[in-house]
């Protein structure tokens, strides 16, 4: 059974749409309550490690994308929880930032950022998932603004250096605490840590450098895909802020229920009903498979629940060669109403076979007796 993804948003007590400022504020509040220097309770120390890990994941755009897609970056090798003061966790600066509102200087962050991944679900019938197909899709995603080409500024203008932080993206201040005077560094509130401001935003995108638009895309579905599988299309997701590189598009397969066949991996199963007389005497019957019409030979004396195996009539293997099999389950139909002549003939047959009283002797137990035995 797969591991369940950790609820990182729940650990910090924020919703899934929380921005960076909200995440940092929630982390600071919890860190002040749970830090080992403040709360020596072992349970609080364990909780402190969890919220620190959650903040580290959600403050990293790539790891947050994995969380939003239902994954867990710490379980999938993208990182691992451990010492919250270790270098890979942001170092002592993040803890200082939690208590005093700042830490080590990081410099301006880029206005251009990676875009988010997108998810699209499509319905396919059994023949399409078995043999593959090509689908033309229409989707709505963020694309680069055609007016400002991702810069975010109106025509004839450009972003200017922030006067508050002078392009550093950070401002410093000195605060008194129980440790003495502490110099703190925080993101500039005027430029949001970018180091530049857009005085005249683009009228099309409002300064974001991207707009939402409908576009068409052709997707090739390989043979052998199954329900719930996802096809990854690199760079076909959402364009990032500032016209940043696009994320990936994941196309999830929804396989529609088939009227005749049920699927079990690469094997197919179906039920074929035949009269009692045909099962006893043998016959040939036609079956429409995924490959076309097949003629089945029903051997004389076929018993109820017998299974005919048609090799390589199932679904092709997604990886590698070969195909699954088709299992035809035979259902013998016993008549429920007989006219006088039919009943007389069956009684005559039962007399010839010594089956007037099935189960009365060990020699002739009859059909249902043999089934029970």
**Contact at 8 Å (CB) between 14 and 22?**
yes
Domain 106-157+201-257 has CATH 2.60.260.20: yes
Q: Which residues contact 324 (CB under 8 A, 6 or more apart)?
A: 265, 266, 267, 268, 312, 314, 315, 316, 317
Average pLDDT, integer, range 93-117 = 65
What ranges do the domains of the chain cover? Answer: 1-104, 106-157+201-257, 160-197, 262-372
What's the pLDDT tens digit per position in 324-341? 999 999 999 999 999 999
Q: Are the beta carbons of 316 and 130 closer than 8 angstroms? A: yes
What pLDDT score does 373 carry?
39
Fold of 1-104: Helix Hairpins (1.10.287)
Region at 277 (left for phi over 0; alpha for psi -120 to 50; beta for the rest): alpha
The CATH number assigned to the domain with range 262-372 reads: 2.60.260.20
Segment 123-180, tens digit of pLDDT: 999 999 999 999 999 999 999 999 999 999 999 999 999 999 999 999 888 777 665 6
- To 10 degrees, what angle do helices 20-34 and 92-100 make? 90
Domains 106-157+201-257 and 262-372 share a fold: yes
For the chain, how far is it from start to end, CA to CA, in angstroms?
A: 39
The answer to whether residues 49 and 116 touch, using CB atoms and an 8 Å cutoff, is no
| Token pair in block for residue 155 | 């025509």
What's the chain's length in residues? Answer: 373
Q: What is the DSSP letter of 127?
A: H
pTM score over 0.95: no
pLDDT at 104: 45
């Amino acid at each position: 059974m797969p591991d369940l993804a950790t609820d990182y948003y729940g650990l910090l007590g924020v919703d899934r749409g929380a921005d960076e400022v909200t995440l940092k504020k929630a982390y600071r509040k919890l860190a002040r309550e749970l830090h080992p220097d403040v709360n020596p309770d072992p349970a609080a120390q364990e909780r402190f490690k969890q919220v620190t890990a959650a903040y580290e994941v959600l403050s990293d755009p790539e790891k947050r994308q994995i969380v939003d897609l239902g994954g867990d970056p710490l379980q999938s090798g993208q990182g691992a929880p451990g010492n919250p003061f270790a270098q890979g966790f942001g170092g002592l600066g993040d803890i200082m930032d939690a208590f005093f509102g700042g830490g080590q200087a990081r410099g301006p962050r880029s206005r251009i950022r990676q875009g988010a991944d997108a998810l699209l679900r499509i319905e396919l019938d059994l023949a399409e998932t078995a043999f593959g197909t090509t689908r033309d899709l229409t989707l709505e995603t963020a694309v680069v603004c055609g007016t400002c080409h991702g810069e975010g500024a109106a025509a004839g203008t450009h972003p200017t250096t922030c006067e508050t932080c002078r392009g550093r993206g950070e401002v410093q201040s000195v605060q008194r605490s129980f440790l003495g005077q502490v110099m703190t560094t925080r993101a500039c509130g005027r430029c949001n840590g970018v180091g530049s401001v857009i005085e005249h935003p683009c009228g099309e995108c409002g300064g974001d450098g991207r707009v939402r638009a409908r576009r068409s895309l052709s997707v090739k579905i390989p043979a052998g895909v199954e329900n719930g599988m996802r096809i990854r299309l690199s760079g076909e997701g959402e364009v990032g802020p500032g016209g940043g590189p696009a994320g990936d598009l994941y196309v999830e397969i929804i396989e529609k229920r088939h009227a005749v066949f049920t699927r079990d991996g690469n094997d197919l199963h179906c039920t074929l009903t035949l009269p009692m007389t045909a099962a006893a005497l043998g016959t040939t019957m036609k079956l429409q498979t995924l490959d076309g019409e097949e003629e089945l030979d029903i051997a004389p004396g076929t018993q109820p629940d017998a299974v005919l195996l048609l090799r390589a009539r199932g679904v092709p293997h997604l990886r590698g060669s070969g195909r699954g099999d088709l299992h035809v389950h035979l259902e013998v139909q016993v008549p429920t109403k007989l006219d006088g002549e039919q009943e007389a003939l069956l009684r005559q047959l039962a007399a010839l076979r010594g089956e007037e009283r099935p189960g009365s002797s060990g020699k002739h137990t009859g059909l249902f007796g043999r089934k029970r035995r």
